[in-house]
Structure 1
Amino acid sequence: MNSSTPPFDVIIVGGSYAGLSAALLLGRALYRVLVLDNGQPANRQTPHSHSFLTRDGETPAQLSAIAREQALAYPTVQWREATVITAKAEGAGFQVGTQTGETFNARRLLLATGLRDILPPIPGFADCWGISVLHCPYCHGYEVRGETVGILANGEGGFEFVKRIHHWNPAVSLFTNGPSTLTEEQTAKLRQHSIRIIETPIAAIQHQSGQLQAVQLADDTTVPLVALYAHSELRQSNDLAEQLGCKLDDLGFVVVDAMGKTTVPGVFAAGDAHTMLRQVVVAASNGLKAAAMISKELIDEEF
């Protein structure tokens, strides 16, 4: 290594499933890898992770601990707890800066920082998020199958959401949280399936330690429920991609190709930052693909 070579081959910002999957492959490929993570995964309140073959039902913390142990077993992989706040092209690669003023350089950069959920300001909603206020039936639907549940949504999106959840939960109510924007045809279809449409605004979520008990409406009536499905507004967890000049799509996701390459050469993205498929197995898969392409690029440079 000459004096102008960055000390790391790859910096991975984000040490959850996508980041650690990438670190594992790159460590096995003999690359010098630094994983920087701030310990705030989006699923930190979720009690169990599902649909990951061989690991179904384990907690997110268990999965992360196993992933970290296995990735760090390779001597060229390092881990540092840090919040990265800056990223830029620098010399033969990239430089990132942390909240504490440290800087690190590498030949390639992988953003695996995920998304941030912007939750509605309904009392109790955030306390239940990921526990009994749920975003995905494929993640959590089996556990509340057949129970009385609600959906917080409206219009076309609400209609499509009800269609999906009804498969698991025939006893479902749609909370439009204000005047319904469903079409007459959609309203008739929902009523045909005995789906209750509640337009009264939601005042609060009644719960015990995150376990939903009832939805309290603005008129002080309550609707007992086991779970409430809802979608959050999604935003990038930081502005690193924008700092680097990476293109974002209309929904705010980082634009990547099939192998995780962003529109900025040398910068890759993996995990929730570029897809709405917020599943552990998906994040691990596209982290591995990005790492494979990073390895190919570095080998092509060296050969």
Structure 2
Amino acid sequence: MIYDCAIVGGGPAGLNAALVLGRARRNVAIFDDGQPRNRVTRASHGFITRDGVTPADFRRIAHEEVLKYPSVRHWQTGVTGVRKTKNGFCVLTASGKAVEARKLIFASGLKEVFPNIEGLHEYYGKSVFNCPYCDGWEMRDRPLAVISEEPSVFHMAKLLYNWSRDLIVCTNGGAPLTDEQRQRLESRGIRVIRTQVAAFSGHDGQLESIRFADGSLIERGGAFITPKFLPKAEFKDALGYETNDDGGIAVDAAGRSSVKGIYAAGDAAYVRPSQLVYAAAAGSKVAITVNMDLTDEDFGE
């Protein structure tokens, strides 16, 4: 069987794409390794009707809705390779399956690379986060730290000032701020610390203090950190699609990549901000594009 579309990735972008295509009576194969980036988060926010939903419940509800359409098939397995065929593409899975499809959507998201801070993973998703729109409300009025070596640290600090006026900025040994930016932060009472961060400490996932490389300690009730993001699935060499400056798959406004028949949605195309609602919307949009392209081909256009 040759599917109309194969979707690599089972997050909000991939699942919403599968939903739209299933409702369009397209045969869809969706592949998901069961390791979403937000699995460490206790709750997801900012998605109307699902504000505060756990990642596990979100996926359970989504699977129930998507898989009620008989033309959608789901495999919980990673994808190890993709190659072009005369009919489109062949997806190779970690479980040894080979599935052919006319079109291919990458919705596999990103993976995070964190700075080397002792204890970070004990607190990430509980009291240490990366998105203020996702978790700023829960951290409101706490003493917070913004930890980043990136120039975006100034923007992050300004944003978080809306949720807490008790802020420090830690540049972790780097110098991403200009003198003017540092002065503007300090004029608001936001202290800038350039010393490298050594460790987090606290209890039950709740941050209590940050220790620096010089041995100094500062009490904090939460933190926002900027990890580096890399594509979770990389098939550029095999398929030849172009990437954007952030390393995501370069797409046009409708989600088409530079290779005919390949599309990308959500974090795979490095859509920002990285939120459920943005990813789901991108999945819907690219699915409509795929269905239209299939329809045009079937009518010989």
Shared fold per TM-score greater than 0.5: yes
Tell me how far apart the structure 2 counterparts of residues 226 and 50 of structure 1 sit (CA, whole Å): 20
Tell me how far apart the structure 1 counterparts of residues 293 and 23 of structure 2 sit (CA, whole Å): 16
Deviates more, 1:105-114 or 1:159-168: 159-168
Tell whether the 8 Å contact from 2:231 to 2:247 is kept in structure 1 after alignment: yes
1:171 is aligned, of 163, 166, 169, to: 166
Tell whether the 8 Å contact from 1:124 to 1:207 is kept in structure 2 after alignment: no
2:273 is aligned, of 277, 280, 289, to: 277
Tell whether the 8 Å contact from 1:173 to 1:196 is kept in structure 2 after alignment: yes
Q: Which residue of 1 aligns with 2:121?
A: 126
How far apart are residue 209 of structure 1 and its match? 3.4
Counterparts of 1:21-60 in structure 2, within 5 Å, are 21-60=16-55
Tell whether the 8 Å contact from 1:85 to 1:240 is kept in structure 2 after alignment: no
1:141 is aligned, of 136, 142, 166, to: 136
Tell me how far apart the structure 1 counterparts of residues 240 and 197 of structure 2 sit (CA, whole Å): 40
How far apart are residue 247 of structure 1 and its match? 0.6
Deviations 1:94-143 (A, max 9, x none): 00111233211011111110000011121111232222221111111111
Tell me how far apart the structure 2 counterparts of residues 139 and 179 of structure 1 sit (CA, whole Å): 26
Deviations 1:25-76 (A, max 9, x none): 1111111111111001010001111110111111111111111110000111
Which structure 2 residue ranges, 5 or more long, are not aligned?
Answer: none
Q: Which residue of 1 aligns with 2:104?
A: 109
Amino acid at match of 1:39: G
Q: Which residue of 2 aligns with 1:254?
A: 249
How far apart are residue 90 of structure 1 and its match? 0.6
Deviates more, 1:123-132 or 1:278-287: 123-132
Counterparts of 1:286-297 in structure 2, within 5 Å, are 286-297=282-293
Change (3 A) 1:232 1:80: same
Tell whether the 8 Å contact from 1:10 to 1:31 is kept in structure 2 after alignment: yes
Amino acid at match of 2:287: A
Tell whether the 8 Å contact from 1:154 to 1:182 is kept in structure 2 after alignment: no
RMSD over aligned Cα atoms = 1.5
Amino acid at match of 2:250: V
Tell me how far apart the structure 2 counterparts of residues 282 and 138 of structure 1 sit (CA, whole Å): 12
Tell whether the 8 Å contact from 1:35 to 1:78 is kept in structure 2 after alignment: yes
Q: Which residue of 2 aligns with 1:3?
A: none
Secondary structure of 2:138 counterpart: helix
How far apart are residue 181 of structure 1 and its match? 4.7
2:3 is aligned, of 8, 11, 17, to: 8
Identity %: 38
Tell whether the 8 Å contact from 1:119 to 1:126 is kept in structure 2 after alignment: no
For the pair 1:266 / 2:261, whether they are aligned, the reply is: yes
Deviations 1:228-269 (A, max 9, x none): 111110100021244211110121011111121111110111
Tell me how far apart the structure 2 counterparts of residues 92 and 117 of structure 1 sit (CA, whole Å): 35
How far apart are residue 295 of structure 1 and its match? 0.7
Aligned residues: 298
Counterparts of 1:17-96 in structure 2, within 5 Å, are 17-96=12-91
Deviates more, 1:106-115 or 1:202-211: 202-211
Tell whether the 8 Å contact from 2:168 to 2:190 is kept in structure 1 after alignment: yes
Tell whether the 8 Å contact from 2:150 to 2:226 is kept in structure 1 after alignment: no
Give the TM-score normalised by the residue count of structure 1: 0.94
Secondary structure of 2:39 counterpart: coil
For the pair 1:301 / 2:297, whether they are aligned, the reply is: yes
